[in-house]
Amino acid sequence: MSGRREFLKGLAGGIVTGFPLVASSSALGRASNLAPCDKIDLILPPKPGAAMENIARVFARQVSQRCDAKMTSTGSAPQRVILAIEPSLGSEGFKIIDDSKDGVRIIGNDERGLLYGVGKFLHSSRYDQGGFTPGDWRGTSVPQGSFRAIYAATHFMNFYEAAPAQEVQSYVEDLGLWGANVVIVHFPTWNFEGFDDPAARRNLEQLHCILQAAKAIGLQVGLVQTPTAGFTTAPKEIRAIPVPDDLGRRGHFGVNCCPSNPAGHEYLLNLYTRLFDKFKDIGLDYLVFWPYDEGGCGCTNCWPWGARGYPKLSRDVVQAARARFPAIKSILSTWCYDTPPAGEWEGLAKFLETDKGWLDYIMADSHTDFPHYPLDQGVPGGLPLLNFPEISMWGRSPWGGYGANPLPTRFEGLWKQTQGKLAGGMPYSEGIYEDINEVICLQFYWQKSRAADDILKEYLAFEYSPEVVEQLSEAIGLLERTWIKRGPNSAEAFALLQEVDAKLTPQAKAAWRWRILYLRGLIDSELFRRNDKMEGPVLKGAFDELTRIYHAENAHSMPVQPPQLSSAER
């Protein structure tokens, strides 16, 4: 509800949401006439808030990891960047203007708006001309989608669980620069005996670390939970009945509890109340409910789960959350609804006709095409609709095992299916290998009509160099075409990547975002050459490097590390 209000407010205020009011001077808003400088004065207002100070720190980190320019506050540097907050632009919007002949003023409507303005300025600047060349994008931009989340899954010792805190925190900041306004994490009860389980404590510490990084730069945070999932020690007598699962997609981890059983209901409410207490120090802004994956309950009182047991239980859990966090917003996911048809969508619509005060958004998506029901029949409860793009696991496993998986054409096609009807969404991230896909989704939420190709070009110029955008666009097109089946295009893509490799600055060349793209080309090309045989030192070296980049040395249970060569093949 609030998301829709924010969107309408933006339109009513006369701001063309998502579009610059002042056209930039080049297609990418990229500086072409400005000279590179070796020093930047970063000027904050007197008494900046903690978030602004952290955003300034992110600015400085980004510049220093990309070029040799130094940040100062002496007032004598050839380039001045002034940060300010002026609440008149529209929620989370920003404006970049010339301040004087050698200064740029980045103005946020609020703290998050300032972060996105800093992001736009950084993304349109360049770092490959022997210093920092300031971007010349000028104008005002306000996001169209109100919920632009990243779901950072922390399990199986993937990147988010295994990487050092600093690396994960930097990554959260980087996604913030591209427009993310919420970071969501999941506490996997089904992995633990209880809150005192040492593994549960470690997991909670990692979740805190991720959410603190988000809060530090002004982002909102939340949990996604399957409210029927208990701990592994949940009493047998309250366990749920497995749901029908003809397609094998709804999951059943064996620790679900039946909320229609009074003792089961009490157990679940107690568990989630205690979980919310673990986040009292941080404060939760969002609660996302998941119907399946870990399973629901198929008993006669709960089924159809998506229409009966699930919304009822979610409503009760929201109330427990609101007792602790009065402003928390709730999102009901409809993942795997009506697969096969069981009247779940219709039943949910009926449920929300009379009782929707507890809910703010509906989330929908599927393993393949976007579900038809909310597009054709309207969203249950008339609520704003969100998507859940599957950016991590589609097409190949192990996830991330072959390096970067950019799929701009795929995600643009799926985005277009939603007909501009979404208020944002929450890509499912298993690690850093889908970075390009995440950025594309976040920018669709920011400006619904933006083309994937345009987003990709901005990303390539920022991460690598404006000089290699055309070659890399072509290489990524070839890599996407050969994602399902490698072929001669795989070798062609790698040849382009090799050409680009020779042109990059030492910083860009050594950065993980280049290595995972380069290694993807190398691995695919090598596998094509070897008729898909997993053997040889080239592949071993590439897989070992990916493992180091992902911190996947101890990844387990599910495929989140590169494929293994058999000992005979090494």
Binding stretches for Zn ion (CB under 5 A): 258, 260, 297, 299, 302
Question: Which two tokens mark 558?
Answer: 């599910």
Q: How far is the CB of 258 from Zn ion (least distance, A)?
A: 3
Residue 344 or 545: which CB sits closer to Zn ion? 344
With CA atoms as reference, report the closest residue to 159 among 558, 563, 555, 556. Answer: 555
Compute the distance between CA of residue 313 and CA of residue 268 in angstroms, rounded to an integer: 9
Compute φ and ψ for 84, nearest 5 degrees. -150, 160
The answer to whether 473 touches 496, Cβ cutoff 8 Å, is no
Residue 260 or 490: which CB sits closer to Zn ion? 260
Q: How far is the CB of 299 from Zn ion (least distance, A)?
A: 3
Residue 149 or 302: which CB sits closer to Zn ion? 302
Residue 302 or 352: which CB sits closer to Zn ion? 302
Compute the distance between CA of residue 562 and CA of residue 402 in angstroms, rounded to an integer: 6
Q: How far is the CB of 260 from Zn ion (least distance, A)?
A: 4
Compute the distance between CA of residue 121 and CA of residue 140 in angstroms, rounded to an integer: 12
Residue 36 or 259: which CB sits closer to Zn ion? 259
With CA atoms as reference, report the closest residue to 291 among 371, 220, 369. Answer: 371
Question: Which two tokens mark 210?
Answer: 């991720």
The continuous run of DSSP H or E covering 330 comes out as strand 329-333
Compute the distance between CA of residue 259 and CA of residue 431 in angstroms, rounded to an integer: 33
Burial of 99 (0-12, 13-18, 19+ CB in 10 A): middle
Q: How far is the CB of 351 from Zn ion (least distance, A)?
A: 16
Residue 167 or 293: which CB sits closer to Zn ion? 293
Compute the distance between CA of residue 475 and CA of residue 514 in angstroms, rounded to an integer: 13
Q: How far is the CB of 305 from Zn ion (least distance, A)?
A: 8
Residue 297 or 456: which CB sits closer to Zn ion? 297
434 in helix, strand or coil?
Answer: coil
Residue 216 or 297: which CB sits closer to Zn ion? 297
Compute the distance between CA of residue 342 and CA of residue 380 in angstroms, rounded to an integer: 16
User: What residues contact residue 424 under an 8 Å CB cut-off, 6+ apart?
Assistant: 3, 145, 146, 147, 148, 149, 386, 387, 445
Question: Which two tokens mark 406?
Answer: 């950019």
Compute the distance between CA of residue 288 and CA of residue 318 in angstroms, rounded to an integer: 10
Q: How far is the CB of 94 from Zn ion (least distance, A)?
A: 48
With CA atoms as reference, report the closest residue to 407 among 397, 395, 399, 398. Answer: 395
Residue 215 or 315: which CB sits closer to Zn ion? 315
Q: How far is the CB of 240 from Zn ion (least distance, A)?
A: 6
Q: How far is the CB of 317 from Zn ion (least distance, A)?
A: 15
Q: How far is the CB of 154 from Zn ion (least distance, A)?
A: 29
